[in-house]
Copies of this chain bind each other. A is one copy, B any other.
Amino acid sequence: MKPLHQKIRDDIENQIRSGALKPGDRIPFEHELMAQYSVSRMTVNKALTPLDEGGLIERRKRAGTFVRLPRLDSTVLDIPDIQHEITARGEVYRFELLSYALHKANSDEERELAGSGKVLALTGLHFASAKPLAFERRLINLEAVPQAESVDFTRQSPGHWLLGVVPWTHVENQISAQPAEGQTALHLRLDEGTACLVVDRRTWRGTERITTVRQVFDGGAYRLIASFDQR
């Protein structure tokens, strides 16, 4: 049998991760949870404290307990937000949409993402101070993120938009070095064969896939930084 405080914690965490509770929403007061689960305040507190320390919720005296906004800082390599990183170092950021297509999943890669559902396929370029920095090819699972269909990605990059809108629970990055080729080399204004940093990333919310993206960076102009503290 699971301890009471852990059941309460899991319930709330699931509501947040599933999206039933959105950032900014208020979680019931401790005395409300006491009544709801028929437990003492110490037990409710023991359930909420780890969620607070884990950064999932925010607690304010007199005001109550609220769902936190997803953390967007991350020097750490969880999900690099290119737009954020470029503006953070004082350069001007711009995203240019190269292609846009909405269709049923019809390749292995697309079916891995969306089963037999619909997929949004985009390509685009990230600019830092008018210089092309990264070429990106992205697939978005429209089952998981239906709102994506009505967003204008000529104005904002899909990665930046997704980070703010969809909470993710799991990411996998594959990082490799590859020579610049064909269209990608042209877009990045690099000679064929120039060393590029390639990041292939897949994200999940729970067991549901959200997006698949390949980003190709000019190897000389960009480096990933991953910083870790031992748990």
Contact = CB atoms under 8 A, between A and B. Distances in A.
A223 B176 contact: yes
Nearest to A173: B226
Given A225-B173, A226-B226, A193 B193 contact: yes
A196 B78 CA distance: 23
Contacts of A71: 231
Interface in A49-64: 50, 53-56
Interface string A143-185: 0000000000000000000000001111111111111000000
Interface stretch (A22-30, A113-121, A214-222): A214-222
Contact of A195 (B173, B175, B177, B228): B177
Given A50-B50, A54-B231, A177 B219 contact: yes
Nearest to A205: B230
B172 A225 contact: yes
A172 B77 CA distance: 10
A197 interface: yes
A224 interface: yes
A230 B167 contact: yes
Contacts of A175: 175, 197, 223-226
Interface residues of A, number: 42
Contact of A228 (B54, B171, B176, B219): B171
A211 B196 CA distance: 27
B231 A171 contact: no
Contacts of A223: 174-176
> Quick one: which of A172, A176, A225, A227 has the most chain B CB within 10 A?
A176
A108 interface: no
> Quick one: which of A54, A173, A217, A228 has the most chain B CB within 10 A?
A228
A97 B178 CA distance: 27
A178 B220 contact: yes
A6 to B, nearest CB: 11
Q: Which 10 A-B pairs have the closest CB atoms?
A: A177-B219, A195-B195, A177-B197, A177-B177, A176-B223, A173-B226, A175-B224, A177-B195, A171-B228, A172-B227
